[in-house]
Structure 1
């Protein structure tokens, strides 16, 4: 089992398959994607080797991220390969939901077990303004289809002051929709410093409101992500809060990241990353990858430096998958 010098154990890998995204969200890529060609990204064989190595180190959950993972035509193959690896109990995917109704059954048939969909507003006009796409009804239909297929579904919403911090529409939706909607504090990156100053709001204010209104905390599971989740007897859905600026946020860290270029990132907001790609090639024993990750894990710090406005090498969140 992977364990760092602070006693934190790592059961969860976020594995990016591409930096490319076809949305232009205000807080991430307001000018659209400006990046690398597709051939730079890890191949299915390299991605499989990453997953095999981490499974050998005790990883139980792998989340495929981007950019937007569905822009890879070989995504079903990647899901299927990872699903069949011994020790991997959960194969999850984070997506913007583009063409979700047409694609979700193929992903489920390949072995996908958990789906996170990014929806920053339940108002169609506001959704289009934030993302550049008029696709909210289609995405909501895809979520309905995913639930019908038996997938665990969560919705991610970046919490932005004066944009989507009015929770009335969310609460109305969660009364009859059995999904978890998770508010994520907008985070400062090198490309979005001004946006952060204008629109950051602490999730603690939402938490206080929930507790006053009778919402109750949900117990965390071993491979859960960083969200604090809450339930209410009058609602079939749940609310989650991801608050990276809160005290001791990093104390329960249980996840590592590998970028679409094969770089190990000990933290979302670390520096350039550690190149694992040479260890993913044919003929290189899996033990080399295991030894490298185990060695570098000793360098993982107690926490990030976001509170000091230091986002490391993170220019935008599409680079490592958030």
Structure 2
């Protein structure tokens, strides 16, 4: 088995697999006008998704994160989780969700093989949450997180996009939340996308500002695992949870890249912010095409750039994060 590797020696063992670009929330920084499909969506069917997973697993992938849009909108979400969990060599199955179905379905998903859950919660203030997401189900989302903790999922994380005008001063609320909960909060620096230049200018908050506050309050940077991604994780002896920072504008952010993305329409994306995608769908019709599919994956890695170009104001071909799964 030859592991996927690019020209810069980076190895890729983590697949973010989008199963839909649809979402039922209207987050300001992603889909402020709600989901608006361009024609009739042609999302990969479950058997096609299974072939993507199998090919990546034969190339060294060990973790699959099922993403969207909102992945749990798909009626066959549980079946897709089970497919991932039963794929040879895959030892971690995760998802990122807005959490609206979590309280009801967490146990069923766990039985299907889901081990890790990231829930998008951009504010712990119900009114701010509603302003950011266009949805008022704040209490239901938090109930879902509590349910996942009760079920002892391997990891439960909360994702919060840093937004200067909405949550930039809410670090104390987030810290209070994880004082007695084993939840990792990931603060994600707002990234500029093709449709949101003005929003980015108004709301961008550098992650270093949160980093400085954490250090001043005694938080310590955790040692990085060998296969760790770009997040910097911080711990504090007085807190059950941890804080993670994802700062894509920081120096050398891309040096530890270990993930690839496949969109819900079957395109391989080597970076969240570069090319329009490399077609895979023509090789997903049968199991007999797997050798050719694997060869295409290896060939595609030769074209991966050393870094994104966000620093230059170039967000590539990504219109919004829901389009290829964030």
TM range, normalised to the smaller chain? Answer: over 0.9
Show the 5 A alignment for 1:218-233. 218-233=222-237
The 5-angstrom pairing of residues 28-107 of structure 1 reads 28-36=30-38, 40-107=42-109
The CA RMSD over aligned residues, in Å, is: 1.2
**Aligned equivalents of 2:205 and 2:126: distance in 1?**
23
Cα distance in 2 between the residues matched to 1:153 and 1:222:
21
Which of 247, 255, 259 is 1:255 aligned to? 259
Q: 2: distance between equivalents of 1:109 and 1:219?
A: 32
Match of 1:293 in 2: 297
Task: Give yes or no for contact 1:2–1:9 (8 Å, CA) kept in 2.
Answer: yes
Uncovered stretches (5+) of structure 1, i.e. residues with no partner: none
State the distance in 1 between where 2:247 and 2:50 align: 31
Give the equivalent residue in structure 2 for 1:171: 175
Secondary structure of the residue aligned to 1:318 is helix
Runs of 4+ in 1 over 4 A off after TM superposition: 36-39
1:184 equivalent in structure 2: 188
Shift of 1:51: 0.3
Q: Distance in 2 between the 1:34 and 1:281 partners?
A: 28
Matched, 1:157 2:160: yes
Secondary structure of 1:272's aligned partner? coil
Separation in 2 of the partners of 1:77 and 1:155? 24
**What does the per-residue CA deviation read over 1:179-200, in whole Å, with 9 as the maximum and x for residues that have no partner?**
0001001111111100000010
Displacement, 1:223? 4.5
1:111-149 C-alpha deviation (Å, 9 max, x unpaired) = 001000000000011101111111111111111111222
Shift of 1:226: 2.3
Question: Does the 8 A contact of 2:21 with 2:322 survive in 1?
Answer: yes
Query: Aligned residue pairs: how many?
Result: 322
Distance in 2 between residues matched to 1:45 and 1:126, nearest whole Å: 40
Q: Is the 8 A contact 1:184 1:203 kept in 2?
A: yes
Structure 2 unmatched runs, 5+: none
